Chains A and B, each alone.
Chain A
Amino acid sequence: MGFLYTIFAISAVYWAKDLKLKMNWWKWSISAVWFIFLSVTIAGGFTLIGENELRAGLYFLGVFGTVMIVSGVGLIQLIRSK
């Protein structure tokens, strides 16, 4: 898993260059934090499902997943603008 995250991070640099995104240190930090939150949201929702709490897990994913999607779009706009 660590390996997956590492090559994802490395490729992100290349993606940013190719998409001509003007990145700087705080944009990278916020993006990293966002991705961590996304990972935790998914892990949390599925932990609940694994615990046999299907309804709770789905609600969790629904609410926090939507928050992540919205903040993700916001993040993209933020990166693109400045």
Chain B
Amino acid sequence: MAKKDNAFDRRSFIKTLGLTGGILSLGGMAGAGLAAGKNKDSFTGYGRTAYGEDQFFNRKPFLVDKPTYEKVSKTRRIAYVENLFKRNGELYRLLYPRSNDAQKWSFEQGAEALPEPLKNYYQDNPGALDEFKKSMQKGREQRQNWKKYEKKYLLADAWSNAHASPIHGQGAFPHQPEGKPEDFDFKGVRKERLDFKSRKHASELIKKISHSFGASLVGIAKLKEEWVYQGYMRGVGKTDFEVPKHWKNVIVIAVPHEWDSLYANPTYGTSYDAYSRLRFIAGKLEVFIKEIGYAARSHVPPTSYEIAMPPVAIDAGLGEQGRHGVLITPELGANTRLAGITTNMPLEADKPIDVGIKEFCSKCKICAEECPSGAISFDNSPETIVRGYKRWEIDQDKCFTVWNSVATSHARGCRVCLAVCPYSRKNNWIHNIAREADPRDPTGVFSSALLGMQKKFFKYHGGQEYLPPPDGNNETFNEAPEWLRTEEWFDI
């Protein structure tokens, strides 16, 4: 009798224990999930060290011979006036010359009165000049608005200014070039070149060194001439130039923005955290390459470039072009900020990749819907032909107007499109499943399902809301992290 009782007790013990175990295991799943979500290690490029192996997406199955952008007609180099900052800078100097010179031009005179090549550009792009005028007006309003919102965003602004400090002025690193690239790029190069065992060795070493300097992603490409701006050379000035022969290869480096601040753009995030990191990495690489006997020149943000980085990065197999015009990489999504080093070092170029980003962008359109200025195209497929290539075109001038409209201390960017892009996701298991499965599904059903969940489960405020009142409500995509909220730490 006793034996039976014992067996019975043991049985019911196991049953209760097991049931509790089952419930606890589900609770454990919840806890593990929470931990995975909060885990700072998932902050690709920040939590993990640059060496973190499992932050890297295996590109091997997706390598292709030709990049996914489509060339449809003759191409040419990019005229420097097609760069918004260059032409805005020129207009600004005409309106407000240094010293006591009289104003050289005014809006009433219109595009006809502008000097070339500005005149040509603005006659071809009517509306851009009005938009620039609007952006200046908005800039004045922005300064007024800052007085209203300063206390709230003070902490985030201080953080941004801190990141910006190594970038401007005389002490900026890397140093601005002086003189011709044929001289400057070779200045400080070791007299005796160290010959690599093979191109492959060269590429591998440069990548390891780049990671050691802090780069999250590295890629190598042969420099295509059409990606080089024409009409302005740092160290020389406004001049047309042939692409220097020693600009053979480009080492492309990428880092992400700090993730939680990115999601709280436009008011809490900044471009300068990524910019200053990139400048240090690129500047150091420039010196390193010279140390081993090769010429090098860094091309770094915010405006110290002779090459346009995203297309070079596509050639280097880092990612593909997105609807919003910036590079999308599998690891970082649109949260990929770029810099490059042109060099004559013989390197093995990487192959470009195809992970189905164009197909996804065709369906998604979230960035177009969320852009506060409506600058991003809603076309289903890349239709606009720019310099011979089909792409989704963005309206640079409208974008810049929003830079001057949001509630930041000065026009230092918006970055909402980067934050809302579904590809911009941290490195945890659920996003990795999506990353790996999406490009492997030939039917596109998986990506449609993911997109459907993205649009239904997440709250998108709508472009207008990111602007300050009365147009919007200073919304941010996600809530700002507590370490950037002034009211959490200070008596204000």
Contacts and interface: CB of A to CB of B under 8 A. Distances in A.
A and B touch in the complex (CB under 8 A): yes
Interface of A: 1, 3-12, 14-15, 18, 35, 38-40, 42-53, 55-56, 59-60, 63
Return the 3 tightest CB-CB contacts between A and B, nearest first.
Answer: A11-B18, A50-B37, A46-B33
A52 B33 contact: no
A8 B15 CA distance: 8
A21 to B, nearest CB: 14
Interface stretch (B23-31, B157-165, B228-236, B362-370): B23-31
Contacts of A15: 15, 18-19
Nearest to A6: B21
A18 B29 CA distance: 28
Contact of A47 (B22, B260, B430, B481): B430
B43 to A, nearest CB: 10
Query: Which of A15, A35, A45, A47 gathers the greatest number of chain B CB atoms within 10 Å?
Result: A47
Given A7-B21, A50-B37, 13 more contacts: A4-B25, A8-B19, A12-B22, A42-B30, A43-B32, A48-B457, A49-B33, A49-B37, A52-B478, A55-B458, A56-B457, A56-B458, A59-B456
B30 A46 contact: yes
A11 B22 contact: yes
Query: Which of A38, A53, A55, A60 gathers the greatest number of chain B CB atoms within 10 Å?
Result: A53
B430 A39 contact: no
A76 B11 CA distance: 23
A51 B40 CA distance: 10
A49 B31 CA distance: 11
B38 A60 contact: no
A51 B479 CA distance: 11
A8 B23 CA distance: 9
A3 B24 CA distance: 11
Given A11-B14, A55-B457, A55-B458, A48 B29 contact: no
29 contacts: A4-B21, A5-B22, A6-B21, A7-B17, A7-B21, A10-B14, A11-B16, A11-B21, A14-B14, A14-B15, A18-B15, A39-B26, A42-B26, A42-B33, A43-B29, A43-B30, A46-B29, A46-B30, A47-B36, A47-B37, A48-B37, A48-B430, A50-B33, A50-B34, A50-B35, A51-B428, A55-B457, A55-B458, A56-B457
Contact of B36 (A4, A8, A50): A50
A26 to B, nearest CB: 21
A39 B27 CA distance: 9
Contact of A44 (B33, B42, B478): B33
B102 interface: no
A7 B24 CA distance: 11
A7 B481 CA distance: 40
